[in-house]
Amino acid sequence: MPNNSKLGSGLDAIFGSDINSLLDDIQNGNEPEGVTTSNTTLALTDIKPNPYQPREIFDEEKLKELADSIKEHGVFTPVLVRKVTVGYELVAGERRTKAAEIAGLTEIPAIIVDFDDDQMMEISLLENIQRENLTAIEEAKAYKNLIDKRGYTQEELGKRVSKSREHVANTLRLLSLPDKVQKLVENGSLTAGQARPLITVDPKDIDQLVDKVVKENLSARRVEKLVQDYKNPPIKNTPVISEAAQEHQKQLQHYLQTRVKIDGTKITINYVDENDLERIVEAICSKE
């Protein structure tokens, strides 16, 4: 198996640099200092997906466009793989691999580099983040994976991915949303900004709010206001009745000897029991 002294010397040897530039150098045949690579051609059936690939959604239209290009011109840039017990695992180039399959190819040019699991996990995340290919939910799942498996704090992870601790924390919070809402973020129906205020909404009430946000395409600020109103519904003020209505209310209370309330176009008359109700009815119906 090829030796990779730069990447094999520890994660700190690659982080802080531009991961994509490093990977592009390798894939374009410009072997970085301290890196030994091996060029080959592999059967697509021998290549397994990257187990740490954070991206779950691939644009089918763009894959088709890439497949058409591959049919006409072939695969210019080799995929990056590592040797495993049986076959190879992708490090970079999953779109090219998928497009090559769509194009009907059986083989693909590849470069073998020796990455360990920790390097695979972090490189996969960083490559996609730096290329901005991840949805907010995919990014959140990748962060959680690194925290769970590498034991990073949010502060440490933020430094690894060149993001603030607040960005990492806010992104991770999206995973507390119901699956239905997460899927809306993944498919682009909701933005992360629209979804984030919904995190604090009771799950039993969230569907109604989400439907309104999507239907009206509310801005993140308006979603915040919607959630605020949901949590603190405005107090309904008792309508102010006119002076004439107030006078009629007093007259009715005096005549019927019970509490009477005029509210808009409605009159409410209170009674204590059946006998009191009969008394009030007789008073109202009396011709005297």
Dihedral angle computed from the Cα positions of residues 88, 91, 95 and 100, in that order, rounded to the nearest 10 degrees: -30
Whole-number pLDDT of residue 32 = 57
pLDDT band at 132 (very low <50, low <70, confident <90, very high): low
**Residue 42: its pLDDT value, please?**
92
* Residues 158 and 192 occupy one common structural domain: no
Q: Domain check: are 219 and 262 in the same one?
A: no
Instruction: Give the residue, 11 or 236, on which the prediction is more confident.
Output: 236
Same domain, 272 and 187: no
Strand order in the sheet with 38-43: 38-43, 107-112, 79-83, 88-92, 47-48
Q: Are residues 184 and 267 in the same domain?
A: no
Average pLDDT value for residue range 136-140: 89
Are 71 and 114 found together in one domain? yes
Residue where a domain stops, chosen among 69, 101, 134:
134
Note the pLDDT tens digit of each residue in 155-167. Answer: 988 887 778 999 9
Q: Is the pLDDT of residue 230 over 80?
A: yes
Domain span holding position 97: 5-134
| Residues recognised as catalytic | 94
Give pLDDT, residue 11.
41
Residue 241's SS3 state is coil
Residues of the chain above pLDDT 90, percent: 27
Is pLDDT of 153 > 80?
yes
Q: What is the CATH number of the domain that holds 30?
A: 3.90.1530.10
pLDDT above 70: residue 239: no
Residues 10 and 118 in one domain: yes
pLDDT at 131 over 70: no
127 and 197 in a common domain: no
Bridge partners, 35 (sequence order): 4
pLDDT band for 251, please (50, 70, 90 cuts).
confident
57 confidence band (pLDDT: 50, 70, 90): confident
Domain count, the chain: 4
74-113 pLDDT per residue, tens: 888 888 888 888 999 998 888 889 999 999 999 999 888 8
Distances (CA, A) of 136 to 31, 140, 261, 277: 33, 6, 55, 64
Lowest mean pLDDT of 129-133, 159-163, 182-186, 283-287, name the range: 129-133
Residue 20 pLDDT grade (very low, low, confident, very high; cuts 50, 70, 90): low
Q: Is the pLDDT of residue 61 over 80?
A: yes
Q: Which of 103, 134, 165 is the last residue of a domain?
A: 134
Residues 35 and 106 in one domain: yes
Q: What is the pLDDT of residue 48?
A: 92
Same domain, 204 and 259: no
Q: Where among 80, 113, 134 does a domain terminate?
A: 134
- The model carries a pTM of 0.60
DSSP states along 127-181: HHHHHT---HHHHHHHHHHHHHHH---HHHHHHHTT--HHHHHHHHHGGGS-HHH
